[in-house]
Amino acid sequence: MKRLIFLLLVLTMVPVTTVMAKNSRHARDIYVRDSPAESYVTIKLGVFMPNEDSDFLDDGFAIGGAIGHKFNRNFALEVGLDNVSTDFDDGYGYEDVNVNILGIPVTAKLVAPLSNQLEFYAGGGFGVYFTNVEDDYVYYDGYYYDDGADDTSLGFHTLLGADIKMNPNMALNMEVRYTQIEHDHDEYYYDDFEVGGTTASIGLKFLF
């Protein structure tokens, strides 16, 4: 179901941005800013899909935000705060195992403005990721127990996205991000605990 949502997001993004780019060639854009430099705050919701090395994880949900600055029409730098929540796949024999990933990524973006209303961008960067794995279970005696593991690691990411300006101070943001994170949880689950994957998100960008 979540993979279907991801596909629908991509299919929606392509025609919408294409139509806006075409229209911008025939009409004057009324949202012209005095300076190409601007700061912004983005908030977004998304779907997390683990990669092949993380197939022991179910699809999950993501929420995040970022604060950034666009130095000119073609380059921006931002710092984000992202949270992914997912579970272990029951097919691997683990029940009620929750995984929470809190990330602080730093991203450099190359921006391709097609008009004053529409921009495509690509970028990448690194971040610090705090992963919590928690087991929740009940023993036969009826008492509740929990166990788990915590780890902190560096990760790397790449992304593609688009901003569609709705007014001079707000834009619709659509983004696909791939993140690679490796954790050493050999005491608990795997020698190489890979929790990376792809996040497809949609959100709002506030410009100031």
* Pick from 38-47, 95-104, 185-194: least confident: 185-194
Please report where in the chains the tokens 């294409």 appear, as a residue.
18
The residues near 101 (Cβ < 8 Å, ≥ 6 apart) are 82, 83, 84, 85, 86, 129, 130, 131, 132, 181, 195
Tens digits of residue pLDDT in 186-206: 454 444 567 889 999 999 999
Report how far residue 89's alpha carbon sits from residue 71's, in angstroms, rounded to the nearest whole number. Answer: 43
- Here the CATH number for the domain that contains residue 177 is 2.40.160.20
Per cent of the chain over pLDDT 70 is 68
pLDDT, tens digit, 9 for 90 and up, residues 107-165: 999 999 999 899 999 999 999 999 998 876 655 555 555 567 788 999 999 999 999 99
Identify the residue with better confidence: 93 or 58: 58
Quote the CA–CA distance of 144 and 97 in Å, as a whole number.
14
Give residue 86's domain range.
Answer: 2-207
Instruction: Provide the domain count of the chain.
Output: 1
Cβ 126 vs Cβ 106: under 8 Å: yes
At 131 the three-state DSSP class reads strand
